[in-house]
A = this chain, B = another copy of it.
Amino acid sequence: MVLKINKNTEERIQSIAFKDFLEKGYEESNVRDICKKVDIKASSLYYYYTSKIDLFFHIYDNICKENLRYRNDLANANNYSSPMLRLGDMYKGMIRYYSNDIVKQKFLLRYQLFPPEEISYLLHEKYRFYSNEENNIILHLINLCMKSDLLNGNMKPLESLQIYKKNEKMQMIEMITYGTKMSNAELDLSWIKIWNSMNS
């Protein structure tokens, strides 16, 4: 992989627009300001993107796909070890991954909690899609745990899934809100608590 020093125009638009959409929000951001920072005229942006919405969702989709890819890699690592360990490694791996680039997760949280009216329908559709893909990856491991009797059968897979996701998300929100950094020991402890509550 070649290290790119000079970003091309499209990359510069995306990286600057990301910052604005994160910090100012969709409505408060405007094409002119973004283009001023990129050092092009506003009309040039429409060579790359058909609209402000189009630009926004290029960024949004990239982040979601990256998240999915990483989760998938974690889920498929150590294929031959216990599914309980693999689930724990996914949890700990995702939390570490989030903490390395928390602003991207803050971006997603912003548009999930407070979707602007103009793009709320599309956001909702995409949220459902990506959330479903995420569920499938996690559910696969949960089902493996169930089959191996590592999870007692007191809960249905979907209930366990909800507990897992809620805990992962609340941990992420804490990192966003308080800048929490977890040591490996804290991560281990945190995972044990979650695993236990999936088994209660």
Q: Which residues of A contact B (CB under 8 A)?
A: 24-25, 27-28, 109-110, 113-114, 116-117, 166, 169-170, 173-174, 176-178
Contacts and interface: CB of A to CB of B under 8 A. Distances in A.
A173 to B, nearest CB: 6
Nearest to A162: B178
A137 B173 CA distance: 26
B28 A113 contact: no
Contacts of A177: 113, 169-170, 173
A102 to B, nearest CB: 13
A183 to B, nearest CB: 16
- Most chain B CB within a 10 A radius of its CB, from A27, A109, A114, A173: A114
A155 to B, nearest CB: 17
A64 B8 CA distance: 47
Contacts of A28: 27, 116-117
Given A25-B114, A28-B117, A170-B177, 20 more contacts: A24-B117, A25-B25, A25-B27, A25-B116, A27-B27, A27-B28, A28-B116, A109-B113, A110-B113, A110-B114, A113-B176, A113-B177, A114-B114, A166-B174, A166-B178, A169-B177, A170-B170, A170-B173, A173-B173, A173-B177
Contact of A170 (B110, B166, B174): B174
Contacts of A25: 25, 27, 114, 116
Contacts of A27: 25, 27-28
Contacts of A176: 113
Nearest to A118: B28
A13 B6 CA distance: 52
Contacts of A24: 116-117
Contacts of A169: 177
A63 B197 CA distance: 35
Contacts of A117: 24, 28
